[in-house]
Structure 1
Amino acid sequence: MLPHLLHRLNPLPLESLPVADPGRPDLSSPLGFLRWLQRRQRRGQLLATLWGVLEMGCLAALPLAIGRGVQAVVDHDGGALRQAGVLVALLSAGQSAATVLLHRRAVWNWIRAVSTVRQLVARQASHLGAGLSHRIATGEIVAVSSGDVEKIGWYVELVARVRAAVLVWLGVSAVVLVRRPLLGLVVLLGVPVLAAAVWPLLGPFERRYSAQRALGGKATALAADTVAGLRVLRGIGGEELFLQRYRAASQQVRGAAVRTARTWALMQAQEVLLPGLFVVGVTWYGAELAADGRIGVGELVAVYGATAFLAAPLRILGEAAHAWSVARVSAARAVRVLALARSAAPAGVPPTLHHPERSDLHDPVTGLTARAGRLTAVVCGDPDAAGALAARLGGQPALAEGEAPELSVRLGGVPLDEVVLADARAAVLVHDKEPVLLSGTLADLLDVPRSARIEPADALAAARAEDVLEALVDGSPECGGDPMRARITERGRSLSGGQRQRLALARSLVADPPVLVLDEPTSAVDAHTESRIAAGLRKLRADRTTVVLATSPLLLDQADAVLLVQDGRVAATGTHRSLMAAEPRYRAVVTRDETETGTGPAITPAPTHVRSEEVR
C-alpha cells in the first residue's frame, strides 16, 4: 500500500544515467558552475524542496498536536484528546511518507550532479587527449573525478533541503509570532543569529581544506607515478626511496587533514551548543509564563517542541555552511580542469581540411615540413622534445599551465588546432611512445575507425607480430586457435614490452590515417625485428604521409627525408646517409657518440634503446 501511495505522489520515473549530453557548463567561476548544476536539475530541486517542506512541516506541527493532547488531559476533555491523537497519527504518517520521498529525491539529485561532473571531466579528457597530462597533474584529474565530485554533489543536493528548512522556519516563526509576539520575535531573530555564528570559522576551514586537497592531489600523482614505474624501480632498487617519498607526502596530507578536522569539529560543537542554549533559554521563558498562569501546560509543551524543532533547520544550515566551503574548493578545481582549451583559436566557423592525404604537414615552431605521401624521419637529441613535437603534430600542443599558446601545426595550410576535433583526429593519428592496450580480444583491439584499405592481417604482418599471435593463442585456450579471439590482459601485462609495442603499431597501421605520426615505435624490439618492421612500414604506408620520430639507423635509412631538430628548430635536412657523412651533430645523436663535435652547440645524446624482447 505504502509503495503504491509513494508512486502516486511521485509518478514520473527517474531518468537514466549517464545523460546523452551533459551540456555546456558555466565556467566563469566556481559559484557559477554550482548554479549551473542546480539549473540542470530544476525538477529534482523543486520536488526535493516540496518533500522537505512537507517532512519538516509535519515535524514542526507535531508539538502543537501533542500540546493539544496534553492540555486536553489537563482539562479532562476526551473529545479534544481524540482529535489530538488523530492529528498526531496523520502528521506522523505524512512525515514518514515525506521522509522517504525526500531521501529518494535527494540521493538522486546527488547522483545526477556527480554523474554530470564526471561526464564533463571524461569529455574534457577525451577532447584534450594526450596534451591533458602535460597541462595538469594526473593526480589533480583523479582527485576531481573521485573526491571533488562527491563534495560538489553534496552541496547541490543540500540546496533544496536548505530552502525547505528556511521556509519551515519562517512558517514556525509566523505561527509563534501570532500567538506570542515576544516569543515569536525571539524565534524569528534567534535562528539567523545562531546560523551566522558559524561563518567566522568558514574562512580558516576553507583555507585548510584547500591545502589538504592540494597535498592530496600531489600524493595521488606521486602514487600513480610510482605504480606506473614500479618495474623500473625494482630494476634499479629504488622502491624504498619512492616509498619514503610517498610516506612523507602521505604524512603531509594526514597533518593537513587533522588541521582541517579540528576546525570542522569546532564548527560541529558550535552547531550543538548554540541551538541547545537557545532551546534552554526559550523553554525557561515559557516556563516562567506557565508559572505566572499566562499560558497553559499544553501550550508550554508546544513552545518547547517548536523551539526544539528549530535545531533541525539550524543543523541543516550548519551542514550547508560546511558543504559550501568544501564545494567551492572542489568546484574551483573542477572549473580549472574544464576550462582548459584545446587551443587559443578565435571563436567562429572552424576551417575545413581538404584532401589531407595530399597535404603537407608543417610545424611553424620548428620549421619542420613533412611532404605529402612521403616517409619523413625526425631526429631529436632530447626525447622529451620529441614527445612534445609528436603531440604538437597531432594538433595537441603539450603546454604546461601558464605558458603562452604556440603556433598551430598546419595541414595543407589549415591550422590543425582550429579544425573540428573529430576531423583533426581523423586526419592525423599520433602513435604515442608508450601506447596503452585495453583489455579484450585482439579483434576488439584492432576494431578502430579505419579506411578499410589495410586489413588487420596485413597490419600485423607489417608489425612483425607473428610471435605475439602465438603468445596470445597459448595464453587463451578458449580462443580455439584463433588469434583474433585471444584475450589481451589489462594493458597487455602478459606480453613483453616489444610485443605490446608491435600490437599497438599494428592498431595504428589498421587505422590507416592520411597522416601518421610515430614516436619511437620500435624502441623495445631487437635490431633484426626492427629492420623488418621498417621495411614493412615503408611498404604499407606507401603514398601516405608518415612522420617517424626516432634515432634508430634502421628506421632512418628507410625514410625519404630525415630532419635533425636541435634547440627547437630544424638544423639539418637530407637522407640518413648524407647526414651521417656531412653532419657531425646528426652523427652524434644517431651514434650516441659524446666525443663527436660540430659547429653548433652540444647535443644531449639520446638514451640507448633497449633491444630485448624480454623487457617486461
Structure 2
Amino acid sequence: MQIRDLPYADPGSPDARSGPRFLLWLGRNQLDGQLKALAWGLLHFCGVAGLPLGVGRAVQAVVDRSGSGLALSGAVIVLCGVAITVGDTMLHRAAVTNWITAAARVQQLLARKAAELGSALTRRVAAGEVVAVSTGDVEKIGWFVEAVSRFAAAALTVVLVCVGLLLYEPELGVIVAIGVPVLALAVLPLLPRATRRADIQREKAGRATELASDTVAGLRVLRGIGGEELFLGRYRDASQEVRRAAVRSARMWALISAIQVLLPGLLLIAVVRYGAGLVQDGRIGVGELVTAFSAVTLLMYPLRHFEEIAMAYSFSRPSAKRAARVLALRRTTEPSGVEYGSPSGDLYDPATGVLAPTGRFTAVVCGDPDAAGVLAERLGGHAAGGTDGTPSVLLGGVPLDELVLDASRTAVLVQDKDPVLLSGTLRELLDVPASGQVAAEDALAAAQCADVLDALAQASVEDDGDPMETRITERGRSLSGGQRQRLALARSLVTDPEVLVLDEPTSAVDSHTEARIAEGIRTLRTGRTTVVFASSPLLLDRADQVVFVHDGKVAAVGTHRELLHGVVYRAVVTRETEEEQLGGTQAADELAELEEMEESA
C-alpha cells in the first residue's frame, strides 16, 4: 500500500479484543510494507556494520605495507557507504509510508465506527476520548507500527555482528557476544515503571484537555455567572499536575538513556583493554583490534532502536487500548442481510405502543424529558432493542434493526434536542444528502430563518452580503440558541426523509415563532411522516394526532384538545401544580354532575 493509494477501499475488520491484539492485527495487515522496511533496514545497518571490517583491514594493510589490501579495503568502505546511503533513504521512505498508512487505516476504522453508531457513540464513549483516539493516539499507533520493522532490522544486524566477531576474532567476539545482550536487556526492569509514569502523564493530560474543552464550550455561560477565574484556576491546577507528571516521566526516560550510554562505554573499555593485551602478546593484529573496536562502537547505533521500540510500545499500548475500546462497540443487533428495498409505511414501536401513521403529523408527549430523548432515538433505530429482548421499531412492518445502515438512515432521520452545526458556510450546512424535493429556500422559510439570514448577511465579509456564503463558526457558537435550532431544523427539512423525528425542535424560540414553525413543518411535510416530541400546546394543537406516553407506555391518543380532558396529560402540557390539578379535577367532576342533572331533567 502506497500513500498515493489512500484511502483504503476497505480498512478491514480489526481485532479489537485488546490493545496488543489490535497492534498485532495492524502489523499483519501491513506485512508487505513491513518486509520492505526490514529489507532496506538490513541493507542500511549491514552497511554500517561493514565499515569496521573495511577500516580494520585498511589499518592492517598499512601496517603490512600492502597496496592491494589497501585498495580492497577502500572498495569495501565505498560499497558500505553506498549501502548506508541507499538503505537509509529507502528505509526512511518505507518507514514513513508504514506510519502514514497505519494511521490512515485507524482513522478510517474510527470514521466507519462513528458512522455506524451515529449519535449513540458519544453516549457510550466520551466525545473527548473519541477525539483523542482519532488525533494523538493515531500518531502513536503509527509510530509503533513504523518502528517495528526498523527494530527488527537492528536486532538482526546486532546478531549478525556478534556472530561475525565470534568467527573473525573469537577471543574478542566472546566479550561482545556476552556484553551486547546485557546492554539490550539492561533497561527492561525500568520499562514498567517508565510506562506507568507515561500513562499517568497522558491520563492527567487528557483530563486537562477535557477541562479546557468544556471551559471553551461554556465560555459564554461562565462569563454570565462570573466563573471564568474559578475555571481558570482549575485548569491551572490541572496543567501543573500534567507538568509534574511529565517531569517524573522524563526523569525515568533520561535514566534509561543514561544507562544505554554508560553500559556501552564500559563495554568499549573492556574490549580495548582486553584487545590491547592480545595485541601486545601478538595473538591478534592491530587491524583486528580496530575492527572489533569499531564494530562495538557502531553497534551503539542499532542498539538505540531497542530503546525506541520500548518507548514506542509503552506510548502506543494505551493508545491502542483506547482505539480498540471504541472499535469494539457494536450496534445492539446486526442487519439480517435480507433485501427490504426502501421501506415505507407506519412507524410503530412495540415496546411503548407508539404508532405514527404514514403521511401524518404526529406529536408525542412524554412526562419525562429523558424518556422522550430515548424514545426518539429508538424510533430512529439508534437505540434499538435486540440484546436485551426489547423488540425493534417497525417501519411498514420491517424491523429497523434488520435494515442495512444506509437504508435505515435514509428512511428515518432523527434530530435530537441539541443538534450540532458544523463550521462552514450556510450553503455547505444545507448541502446534505436529500431527496431533492425540498429546496433550501423553502426549508429556511418553514423553519422561520428570516432573521437568521439577515444576521448572517450583516456578518458577511462579501460586498453582496449573501447569507448563503457567510461562514458559521464551529458548533454555531456565533449564533443564539434559537438561531442554531432553526438552522438545524432547516437542514433536517432539506433532507426530506420518509420519516422525520424531531425532539423538541422549538424549545429555544418564542411562542409566536413556534406557532409559525409548527405550521411551516405541517405544510412542508404534507404527505410525509413526521413525529415531533414536544409539550408545547402551540405545536401540539397543529398535529394531526397526539400520542401521550406515560410510564413507558401509550396512555392516550387523540387531538390535543381531546386529550386536555385528561388530568395527567393536562398537567404535563400546562405544567400544573398538584393543587391546580386537584382544583381542575373537582371542577371537571362538578361539571359532569351538572350535565347529568340536566340530562335527567
Length-normalised TM-score, structure 1: 0.87
Deviations 1:564-604 (A, max 9, x none): 444544444443233333223x33332334445769xxxxx
Partner of 2:189: 200
Tell me the equivalent position of 2:536. 552
Contact 2:400–2:408 under 8 Å retained in 1: yes
Does 2:363 match 1:377?
yes
Matches within 5 A, 1:319-398: 319-343=308-332, 345=333, 349-353=336-340, 356-362=343-349, 364=351, 366-397=352-383
Give the counterpart of 1:74 among 54, 58, 63: 63
Secondary structure, counterpart of 1:22 in structure 2: coil
In structure 2, the CA distance between the partners of 1:566 and 1:275, relative to structure 1 (3 Å rule), is: farther
SS at match of 2:119: helix
Alignment of 1:200-279 (within 5 A): 200-279=189-268
Aligned partner of residue 376 in structure 1, secondary structure: strand
| Range moving further from structure 2, 108-117 or 443-452 | 443-452
CA distance in 1, matches of 2:437, 2:80: 73
Q: Which residue of 1 aligns with 2:457?
A: 473
CA RMSD across the alignment: 2.7
**1:160 paired to 2:149:** yes
Contact 1:442 1:487 in 2 (8 A): yes
Structure 1: which amino acid aligns with 2:364? V
Does residue 525 of the first structure (1) align with residue 521 of the second (2)? no
**Shift, 1:156, TM fit:** 0.5
Matches within 5 A, 1:439-478: 439-476=423-460, 478=462
Distance 2:232 2:378 in 1: 35
Secondary structure at the aligned position of 1:80 is classed as helix
Name the residue aligned to 1:589. 572
The residue aligned with 1:38 is: 27
Relative to structure 1, the CA distance from residue 565 to residue 233 in structure 2 (aligned partners, 3 Å threshold; closer, same or farther) is farther
- Where in structure 2 are the equivalents of 1:19-58 lying within 5 Å? 19-58=8-47
How many Å apart are 1:531 and its aligned residue? 0.5
Deviation (angstroms), 1:509: 1.0
Residue aligning to 1:422: 406
Aligned length: 581
Q: Which amino acid in the other structure matches residue 307 of structure 2?
A: G
The yes-or-no answer on 1:318 pairing with 2:299 is: no
State the alpha-carbon separation in 2 of the partners of residues 481 and 263 from structure 1: 59
CA spacing shift, 1:60–1:405, aligned 2, 3 Å: farther
Give 1:608's aligned residue. none
Alignment map for 1:123-142 (pairs within 5 Å): 123-142=112-131
Shift of 1:198: 2.0
User: How far did 1:46 drift?
Assistant: 1.7
Cα contact 1:165–1:313 (8 A) shared by 2 = yes
Q: Is the 8 A contact 2:347 2:393 kept in 1?
A: no
SS in 2 for 1:563: strand
Does 2:291 correspond to 1:302?
yes
Counterpart amino acid of 1:350? G
Q: Summarize deviations over 1:334-360 as a string: whole Å, max 9, x none.
A: 1001111122x25x7334546643122
3-state DSSP of counterpart to 2:253: helix
SS at match of 1:478: coil
1:356–1:555 CA distance, 2 compared to 1 (3 A): farther
Give the alignment of 1:81-120 within 5 angstroms: 81-120=70-109
- The superposition leaves residues 178-200 of structure 1 with CA deviations (integer Å, 9 ceiling, x where unpaired) of 12234333333432333222222
Specify the alignment match of 1:5 in structure 2: none
- TM-superposition CA deviations, 1:543-582 (whole Å, max 9, x none): 3221111222111111233334445444444432333332
Secondary structure of the equivalent of 1:28?
A: coil
Contact kept in structure 2, 1:563 and 1:573, CA below 8 Å: yes
Shift of 1:302: 0.6
Which residue number corresponds to residue 18 of structure 1?
7
Aligned identity (percent) is 59
- Name whichever of 166-175 and 80-89 sits farther off: 80-89
Aligned-partner residue type, residue 432 of structure 1: D
Q: What is the alpha-carbon distance in structure 2 between the residues aligned to residue 393 and residue 236 of structure 1?
A: 38
Give the secondary-structure state (helix, strand or coil) at the position aligned to 2:213. helix
Deviations 1:469-508 (A, max 9, x none): 3333333363746554555444444433322222221111
The residue identity in structure 1 corresponding to 2:345 is R
- Partner amino acid for 2:370? D
Give the whole-Å Cα distance in 2 for the aligned partners of 1:29 and 1:577: 57
Instruction: State the AA in 2 paired with 1:74.
Output: V
Q: Distance in 2 between matches of 1:252 and 1:429?
A: 44
Matched, 1:145 2:101: no
**CA shift at 1:303, angstroms?**
0.6
Q: Spell out, residue by residue over 1:229-252, the C-alpha distance to the aligned partner (whole angstroms, 9 max, x if none).
A: 222222222323333333343344
Equivalent position SS for 2:382: coil
SS in 1 for 2:68: helix
Aligned residue for 1:517, secondary structure, equals strand
Contact 1:356 1:515 in 2 (8 A): no
1:187-214 CA distance string (max 9 Å, x none): 3343233322222222223333333333
Partners of 2:19 and 2:317 within 8 A in 1: yes
What one-letter code is carried by the residue in structure 1 that aligns with 2:437? R
> Match of 1:358, as an amino acid?
G
Cα contact 1:351–1:414 (8 A) shared by 2: no
The 1:20/1:480 distance shift into structure 2, 3 A limit, reads farther
Match of 1:498 in 2: 482
**Preserved CA contact (<8 Å) 2:336 2:402:** no
Distance 1:488 1:288 in 2: 78
Contact 1:375 1:546 survives alignment (8 Å)? yes
Structure 1 distance, partners of 2:390, 2:196, is: 35
CA contact (8 A) 1:408 1:416 kept: yes
Partner of 1:614: none
- Cα offset, 1:398, TM superposition: 9.4
Structure 2 counterpart SS, 1:378:
strand
* TM-score of the pair, normalised by structure 2: 0.89
Tell me if the contact between 2:384 and 2:401 (Cα under 8 Å) persists in the aligned partners: no
2:363–2:532 CA contact under 8 A, matched in 1: yes
Deviation readout 1:424-471 (Å, 9 max, x if unpaired): 100110112222333444333322222233232322221122233333
Q: Tell me, in whole angstroms, the C-alpha distance in 1 between the residues paired with 2:375 and 2:428.
A: 30
Shift in CA distance, 183/427, structure 1 to aligned 2, threshold 3 Å: same
Q: Does the CA-based 8 Å contact 2:219-2:228 persist in structure 1?
A: yes
**2:497 alignment partner in structure 1:** 513
